Amino acid sequence: METKLIKTGTFVDNQEILGIELTNTHGTYVKIYNYGAIINKFVIKTKDGRQQDIVLGFDDFEHYLNEDYLANYPYFGAVIGRYANRIKNARFTIDGEVHQLSQSKGPDCLHGGDHGFDKKVWQVLSTIDPSLTLEYVSPDGEEHFPGNLTVQLTFKLTDDNELILDFKAVTDEPTAVNLTHHGYFNLSPNGGNVGSHLHHMPASHYLEQDDNYTVTGRLIPVEDTQYDFLAEKPFARDWDPAEGYDQSFVLDGPAGELVLASETRSKESGLKLSVYTTAPVAHLYTAKYVDVKDGKGGQHYGPFSAFCVETQYHPNAINIPSFPSTVLRPGDTYKMTTIYKIEEL
């Protein structure tokens, strides 16, 4: 087991960007940048000695700063904060005080605003084989969120090919917090469209969204809809081929306990990705809007070239009292764990 720091030679806001590789005893390894806490590589060493990278990204760090990439920005592999998904009208009220955020997606606030945690340099707190702890301190008023928020994220790679993400956050003023990781996965050995991937999600309800993909507060049963993944099926079986999936699901397991969020497998590679989380919601996105040139090995990533399982609290919950609260108060600690487990079938 090993943890290795790699200098990129690139500086952002006068801070050096580092790549940190975590390797387990099987030769599986993960590469993480301290910019955006981006998971750049998740390379599985299979039983026959083959290596397969299961996440989308770039061969070098500089591409994450490329203007063309940022113009059609998909948040490849980054941590999202302070608030995942959309906040209606980019506005919320805590204790009678209205907070107007950046309107980063039409009238709404998406993924924390114009410059969320995905575009911040995180400090490397510790590297203990094979784990990494990063910290970001978000100042009061950043993207118009109240309070100084300190976030710590620990990545740990186990010998069971589990990548564990442990989030913790504290604040000095009441604020809104909903963190997630925005990894783009493709389990096929040669990439391409993920429509043939087989997917299972133990979620009996999904969350209604308006025309801007913002959650309204209504829960809808998945039964007899395209959103029913209670039994495994290919992504493409029921999807609209022009739309794919971009939907939040409420998981059936007990809230706050580590439960299965999804299982996805590829017959081509024989790999299965299981996602476990303590969060109550998983947002499934099949990359409809992705159009990225110069990906790894010169690949052009197009629509439906990956899937995301973004574990989080209910989107827009800060404006929907019937949803679990996403208000963090001084003296309390935000905690959330997500595990990505890879198995070879």
- Active-site residue (options: 142, 143, 263, 310): 310
143 is a catalytic site residue: no
3-state secondary structure the chain: CEEEEEEEEEEECCEEEEEEEEECCCCCEEEEECECCCEEEEEEECCCCCEEECECCCCCHHHHHCHHHHHCCCCCCEEECCECCEEHHHEEEECCEEEECCCCECCEEECCCCCCHHHCECEEEEEECCEEEEEEEECCCHHHCCCCEEEEEEEEECCCCEEEEEEEEEECCCEECECEEECCECCCCCCCCCCCCEEECCCCEEEEECCCCCEEEEEEECCCCCCCCCCCEEHHHHCCCCCCCEEEEECCCCCCCCEEEEEEECCCCCEEEEEEECCCEEEEECCCCCCECCCHHHCCECCCCCEEEEEECCCCHHHCCCCCCCEECCCCCEEEEEEEEEEEC
Structure token pair of residue 56: 């989308």
310 is a catalytic site residue: yes
- Active-site residue (options: 99, 111, 182, 199): 182
CB 103 within 8 A of CB 109: yes
CB 338 within 8 A of CB 277: yes
Structure token pair of residue 314: 């209910």
The distance between the two most distant Cα atoms of the chain, rounded to a whole number of Å, is: 60
Residue 96's contacts (CB-CB under 8 Å, 6 or more residues apart) are none
What residues act catalytically? 182, 310
